[in-house]
Amino acid sequence: MSTDNEALVSQLWRKLWIESDFDDLGTLVADPYLRHTRDGTTSVSPGAYASHIKAATRTLRGTKVTVVDIASTDDMVFARLHLDAVNLETGNELRLTWLTQYRVEDGKIAESWTMHQSGLDW
């Protein structure tokens, strides 16, 4: 089961940040989806989460997601990722490094804790 949960997290990143595919987001995240970020905690529907990601990536085009480390235990998945992207307004390349933790329930991501920082290469 833990390997399936790791694949689910990897699929979410690929779909949202590389493919910009929001059509089947409801098959990947629960409704509601509880998100813990530096901006606080929010409970969102898959549609509201899609709108958030679309707004966040309006000037960003992800070119590559690298899962540097991923591990899981029971219903939790822990990952360190790099997102390489291009700022569409400036043409500048950037790297965002993410530390994430996900809780999976009934085959969907039900809750997440995320932090990201640009310019880190670890």
Could you write out the three-class secondary structure of 88-111? CCCCCEEEEEEEEEEEEECCEEEE
* pLDDT of res. 24: 87
Query: What is the number of other CB atoms lying within 10 angstroms of the CB of residue 94?
Result: 13
* pLDDT of res. 95: 93
* pLDDT of res. 1: 54
Please give the structure tokens belonging to residue 63. 């070119």
**CATH level 2 (architecture), domain 2-118:** Roll (3.10)
* pLDDT of res. 87: 93
> Nearest to residue 20, comparing CAs of 67, 58, 46?
58
Helix (H) or strand (E) holding 117: strand 108-118
* pLDDT of res. 8: 97
Entry pTM: 0.90
Domain boundaries, the chain: 2-118
Query: What residues of the chain score a pLDDT lower than 50?
Result: none
